[in-house]
Amino acid sequence: MIKTDVLIIGAGPAGLFAIHQLGIKGLNCHVVDNLDKVGGQCIELYPDKPIYDIPAIPACTGKELTNNLLKQIEPFKTNFYLNERVQQVTKENSEWKIKTNKNKIFITPNIIIAGGVGSFEPRKLSVKSAEKYENHNIFYSVNDKNKFKGKKVTIFGGGDSALDWTLELSKIANVTLIHRRDEFRGAPHTLNEIKKLEKEGKLAIKTKYQIDSIEGDKDIKSIIIKNDKEKTVKISTDYILGFFGLIMQLGPIAEWGLNMNKKTITVNTENFETNKKGIFAIGDICSYPGKERLILSGFHEAALASVECFKRAKPNEKYRFQFTTSSKEIQERLGYKPK
Amino acid sequence: MPKITYIDSSGNKKIIEVSKGLSVMEGAVQNNVPGIDADCGGGMACATCHVYVKENWFNKLQKAEDGEQDMIDMAFEPKKNSRLSCQIIVTDELDGLVVNTPTKQI
């Protein structure tokens, strides 16, 4: 069990800046995120795309923004729990008890939900019978590649994951790569290598095809793929790997008794608290009249929520507004020696 | 104002007047047309405003850029006539446009 001043759900830009705002006020926090890395949508959806509306930064990519935010919170040595999802939130006396899918328990007076549009989950094959074989013959990520040794593996997708695994598994397995169009969005040099291997007969590529059906009983025996001219091809296969990117799903957040507006959490604009005392929502996941889904809005929301978090975590101390330029206390917390 | 017709997967039809300059996605979201989620809010960063556009209209649209095609790869059941409705900007020429929404977005 971990006791903390604040638990932050989501390590995107809003969550990361919240760490800073809490840190300079002397509060500690822990952060849980379902992705395997920090940065949220910035890192998952547009790491290399420039963002042009971060105040005072004319242009920076999602990755640069994330790295700068991480640099800014370095002094606080925050604990991140990645690949982990908050499952349950319950009231424990005057505090909140949070349980993750890895059975970690946090006790805290404050929760800041900075969950974007929910947690990222792999998009799955659209054919119904795919569910039956999931984690048996069908996978959306690779944990142990040796499982595929000497097997017939069909890989779906056109991005880096699909290309990287096609290349990697072609060394040990009989691989067919299937993509719905001729163009691949993965790295060109990987694609060139794959095309070279195809010419040498070491793997097969089928483009403009999509899955139509799966045949098998206990195990998959073969799949039928179809192109846009309704032409079908049957491919004998032992395993299917699907790399269709990630989708965002709200997940368990919907069950915590918070007032929702479609897929967003309703908050007040004074401190971004939800209908539950001590639970805050900031960034893309919150909504209020006039809300704009910009990163800079998330920063503002983080700053104001952190004030209320302070009052709840330290009820016997008075909150004082301070400037970082003049507060020795803040400068010390940030690791700068006052002159 | 141009009229846009949204047809869901069971054939239910909604005809909405959408101001020029708005996207077909915005026309749906602002008028509570079901079947278009638009999780990312029009940033071409998700594929949850995915629609199908019949051939006669499909060819009148500006071609999808690479980034849009990349996202359509991740849509639910993409087809040859798939588009992201956040990338279709309503103009007078598109008055009467018909789009079909897929059985689901995620």
Domain of residue B27, CATH code: 3.10.20.30
Q: Please tell me if residue A276 touches chain B, with a CB cutoff of 8 Å.
A: no
Of A181, A210, A228, the CB nearest to B69: A181
**Which are the contacts of A26, defined by CB distance < 8 A and separation ≥ 6?**
A310, A314, A329, A333
Helix, strand or coil, per DSSP, at residue A262: coil
pLDDT tens string B47-63? 999 999 998 999 999 99
Q: Which of A43, A178, A244 to mutate to test the interface with B (most CBs of B within 10 A)?
A: A244
Residues of A with CB below 8 A from B69's CB? 181, 183, 185
pLDDT number for residue A339? 62
Q: CB burial class (10 A; 0-12, 13-18, 19+) of residue B103?
A: exposed
SS (H, E, C) chain B: CCEEEEECCCCCEEEEECCCCCEHHHHHHHCCCCCCCCCCCCCCCCCCCEEEECHHHHCCCCCCCHHHHHHHCCCCCCCCCEEEHHHCECCHHHCCCEEECCCCCC
Structural domain including B11 reads: 3-100
Let me know: does A252 contact A88? Beta carbons within 8 Å: yes
Q: Please tell me if residue A297 touches chain B, with a CB cutoff of 8 Å.
A: no
**Which are the contacts of B81, defined by CB distance < 8 A and separation ≥ 6?**
B52, B53, B54, B55, B58
CA distances, A248 to each of A35, A36, A102, B39 (Å): 11, 15, 20, 8
Torsion of CA A302, A307, A309, A310, to 10 degrees: 140
Is residue B106, in this structure, part of any structural domain at all? no
Of A45, A180, A249, the CB nearest to B106: A249
Inter-chain residue contact B46 with A158, CB threshold 8 Å: no
Is residue B105, in this structure, part of any structural domain at all? no
Q: Report, at the CATH architecture level, how domain A124-244 is classified.
A: 3-Layer(bba) Sandwich (3.50)
Residues of A with CB below 8 A from B55's CB? none
Q: Which of B49, B74, B83 to mutate to test the interface with A (most CBs of A within 10 A)?
A: B74
- The span from the CA of A16 to the CA of A18, in Å, is 5
Of B43, B46, B76, the CB nearest to A126: B76
Structure tokens at B23: 């996207």
Residues 15-54 of B with CB under 8 A from A: 37, 39-41, 43, 45-48
Of A181, A185, A248, the CB nearest to B46: A248
What's the predicted TM-score (pTM) here?
0.79
CA distances, A74 to each of A11, A69, A71, A171, A335 (Å): 14, 9, 5, 41, 10
Inter-chain residue contact A41 with B40, CB threshold 8 Å: yes
pLDDT number for residue A48? 86
Inter-chain residue contact A249 with B40, CB threshold 8 Å: no
What percent of chain B clears pLDDT 70, i.e. is strictly above it? 100
Q: For residue A179, give how far its alpha carbon lies from the nearest alpha carbon of chain B (Å).
A: 8
Number of other residues whose CB lies within 10 A of the CB of residue A102: 11
Which residues face A143 on adjacent strands? none
Is residue B34, in this structure, part of any structural domain at all? yes
CA distances, A306 to each of A8, A14, A171, A252 (Å): 11, 12, 52, 24
Which residues face A232 on adjacent strands? A226
Is residue B40, in this structure, part of any structural domain at all? yes
Q: CB burial class (10 A; 0-12, 13-18, 19+) of residue B77?
A: middle
Those residues of chain A that have pLDDT short of 50 are: none
DSSP type of residue A31: E
Q: Which of B33, B52, B73, B105 to mutate to test the interface with A (most CBs of A within 10 A)?
A: B73
Inter-chain residue contact B73 with A45, CB threshold 8 Å: no
Q: Please tell me if residue A254 touches chain B, with a CB cutoff of 8 Å.
A: no
Q: What does the domain layout of chain A look like in residue ranges?
A: 2-121+247-333, 124-244
Q: How many CB pairs under 8 A join A and B?
A: 55
pLDDT number for residue B43? 81
Is residue B57, in this structure, part of any structural domain at all? yes
Q: Please tell me if residue A210 touches chain B, with a CB cutoff of 8 Å.
A: yes
Alpha helices in chain A (DSSP H): 13-24, 41-44, 62-73, 130-133, 160-169, 188-199, 295-313, 328-333
**Which are the contacts of A5, defined by CB distance < 8 A and separation ≥ 6?**
A22, A27, A28, A29, A108, A109, A110, A309, A313, A314
Is residue B19, in this structure, part of any structural domain at all? yes
Please tell me the total count of domains within chain B.
1
- The span from the CA of A258 to the CA of B69, in Å, is 36
- Closest listed residue to residue A298, CA positions, set A8, A77, A78: A8
Inter-chain residue contact B39 with A263, CB threshold 8 Å: yes
Same topology between domain A2-121+247-333 and domain A124-244: yes
- Closest listed residue to residue A139, CA positions, set A107, A102, A165, A100: A165
Pick the CATH number of A2-121+247-333 from 3.50.50.60, 3.40.50.720, 2.40.33.20, 1.10.1060.10: 3.50.50.60
Is residue B27, in this structure, part of any structural domain at all? yes
pLDDT number for residue A250? 85
CA distances, B46 to each of A45, A94, B26, B39, B64 (Å): 8, 39, 15, 7, 15
